[in-house]
């Protein structure tokens, strides 16, 4: 039930929490494989120069886990005997409540991330904006197997009203097997396009599933409770415990899960045309996701930055900056046409 209720958390890479058990302050150091450049040694050279050696270093990222999303309900004897025919009727709204809590935390992680690239003024040329988003992620070497475009409600309307994208025909075609299935409106430019009512209406986020991590784990069932169960499905774990309070003649039902969210940064490898050699970034960069807005100006990395030097994406050649006035004129033209 929980998996079927989730949209945004299901777009994230899922991991368990067992590795955090016993960790000091709920923090672990995750080793990340080091990156090495390659070199060329001249064919049949005079051997006057030695080969070049590099120092290999693995990075360690401190990851802190924390969060306990729950729903707790009391049920009187009268309610149990006369109002509810089965516990499943109570369990479903409890699971939905936990799902909303997980979704809110996932959305806060997504919208609170600092993005290196913001494609502004997308409404003036939606097809061009999607193509630019694909170009940027390609330049960032983001895996193209599982890319999403999560759009707000106004952004969705703009996409559906664009005849050239031809997305409207797909809405409502599939069976509503889950919230994620219902939210999907089509595939374009290598993105699975999904709508969310929880993100800003005029905003979209293009990212790979590996850009964010959703940590989930089921708490242990206490031996003191008469009924308790845990389950895990599609990387999401949940616990349900029930007991009876004789002083107040009522059942108590608690559904909860441990949860945590984080973004993924990378050390980048690029090519220096001047030196004709590979370049490895000295810092870590978040490049697995970018932001798009219907209005406003675009934001790209400064041309002198390490990110721009390695990837070639910079403010020297940004997506065409579109003012709010031009976007407003676009809306007016569409309104008049309608």
Q: How confident is the model at residue 24 (pLDDT cuts 50, 70, 90)?
A: low
Average pLDDT in the 275-299 region? 90
Q: Which residue has the higher pLDDT, 181 or 90?
A: 90
Residue that is written with structure tokens 């850009």 in the block: 211
> What is the predicted pLDDT for the residue at 270?
83
- Name the residue among 27, 181, 212 with its Cα closest to residue 102: 212
Examine the pLDDT at 330 and tell me if it is beyond 70. no
> What is the predicted pLDDT for the residue at 166?
76
Examine the pLDDT at 158 and tell me if it is beyond 50. yes
> What is the predicted pLDDT for the residue at 40?
84
> What is the predicted pLDDT for the residue at 329?
44
Give the distance, in angstroms, between the CA of residue 216 and the centroid of all CA atoms in the same chain: 15
- In this structure, the number of other CB atoms found within 10 A of the CB of residue 226 comes to 8
- In this structure, the number of other CB atoms found within 10 A of the CB of residue 306 comes to 16
Give percent above pLDDT 70 in the chain: 85
> What is the predicted pLDDT for the residue at 173?
46
Q: How far apart are CA 226 and CA 72, in angstroms?
A: 16
Q: Is 290 helix (H, G, I), strand (E, B) or coil?
A: strand
CA distances to 38, 39, 272 from 50, rounded to whole Å, are 15, 12, 21
Q: Is the dihedral of CA 275, 276, 277, 283 positive or negative?
A: positive
> What is the predicted pLDDT for the residue at 65?
67
Q: How far apart are CA 63 and CA 137, in angstroms?
A: 25
Q: Which residues of 42-51 are buried (b: 16+ CB within 10 A; e: fewer)?
A: eeeeeeeeee
Q: How confident is the model at residue 325 (pLDDT cuts 50, 70, 90)?
A: very low
Q: How confident is the model at residue 92 (pLDDT cuts 50, 70, 90)?
A: confident
- Name the residue among 180, 158, 176, 175 with its Cα closest to residue 167: 158
Q: Which residue has the higher pLDDT, 193 or 83?
A: 193
Q: Is the dihedral of CA 336, 125, 111, 71 positive or negative?
A: positive
Average pLDDT in the 290-313 region? 94
Strand partners, 214: 14, 261
**Are 225 and 242 a contacting pair, CB within 8 Å?**
yes
What is the tens place of the pLDDT at every residue in 47-60? Answer: 999 998 988 877 77
What's the whole-number average pLDDT of the chain?
84
Mark out the alpha helices in the chain (DSSP H runs): 2-5, 77-78, 88-111, 126-139, 153-161, 179-183, 306-311, 324-337
Q: How confident is the model at residue 336 (pLDDT cuts 50, 70, 90)?
A: very low
Examine the pLDDT at 178 and tell me if it is beyond 70. no
Q: Which residue has the higher pLDDT, 98 or 283?
A: 98
> What is the predicted pLDDT for the residue at 69?
93
Q: Is the dihedral of CA 328, 302, 188, 233 positive or negative?
A: negative
> What is the predicted pLDDT for the residue at 137?
96
CA distances to 153, 164, 280, 300 from 160, rounded to whole Å, are 11, 10, 41, 27
Strand partners, 118: 291, 299
Q: How confident is the model at residue 337 (pLDDT cuts 50, 70, 90)?
A: very low
> What is the predicted pLDDT for the residue at 21?
63
> What is the predicted pLDDT for the residue at 72?
95
Q: How far apart are CA 235 and CA 279, in angstroms?
A: 37
Examine the pLDDT at 332 and tell me if it is beyond 90. no
Average pLDDT in the 246-257 region? 93
20-24, 167-171, 287-291 — which one is most confidently predicted on average? 287-291
Examine the pLDDT at 76 and tell me if it is beyond 60. yes
Q: How confident is the model at residue 23 (pLDDT cuts 50, 70, 90)?
A: low
Q: Is 119 helix (H, G, I), strand (E, B) or coil?
A: strand
């Amino acid at each position: 039930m929980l998996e079927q209720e989730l949209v945004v958390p299901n777009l994230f890479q899922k991991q368990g929490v067992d590795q955090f058990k016993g960790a000091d302050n709920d923090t672990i150091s995750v080793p990340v494989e080091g990156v090495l450049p390659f070199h060329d040694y001249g064919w049949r050279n005079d051997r006057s120069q030695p080969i070049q050696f590099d120092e290999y270093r693995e990075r360690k990222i401190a990851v802190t886990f924390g969060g306990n999303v729950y729903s707790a309900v009391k049920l009187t004897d009268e309610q149990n005997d006369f109002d509810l025919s089965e516990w499943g009727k109570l369990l479903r709204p409890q699971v939905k409540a936990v799902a909303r809590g997980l979704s809110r935390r996932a959305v806060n992680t997504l919208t609170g991330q600092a993005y290196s690239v913001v494609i502004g003024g997308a409404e003036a040329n939606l097809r061009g904006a999607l193509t630019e988003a694909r170009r940027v992620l390609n330049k960032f070497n983001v895996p193209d197997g599982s890319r999403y475009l999560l759009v707000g409600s106004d952004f969705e309307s703009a996409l559906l009203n664009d005849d050239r994208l031809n997305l409207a025909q797909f809405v409502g075609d599939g069976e509503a097997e889950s919230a994620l299935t219902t939210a999907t409106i089509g595939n374009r430019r290598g993105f699975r396009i999904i709508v969310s009512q929880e993100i800003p209406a005029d905003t979209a986020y293009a990212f790979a599933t590996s850009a964010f991590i959703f940590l989930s784990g089921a708490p242990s069932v206490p031996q003191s409770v008469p009924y308790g169960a845990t389950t895990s499905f599609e990387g999401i774990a949940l616990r349900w415990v029930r007991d009876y309070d004789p002083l107040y003649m009522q059942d108590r039902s608690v559904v909860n899960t441990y949860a945590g969210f984080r973004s993924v940064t990378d050390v980048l490898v690029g090519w220096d045309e001047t030196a004709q050699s590979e370049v490895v970034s000295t810092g870590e960069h978040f490049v697995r996701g970018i932001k798009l807005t219907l209005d406003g100006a675009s934001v790209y990395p400064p041309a002198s930055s390490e990110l721009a030097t390695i990837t070639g994406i910079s403010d020297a050649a940004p997506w065409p900056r579109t003012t709010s006035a031009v976007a407003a004129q676009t809306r007016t033209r569409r309104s008049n046409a309608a």
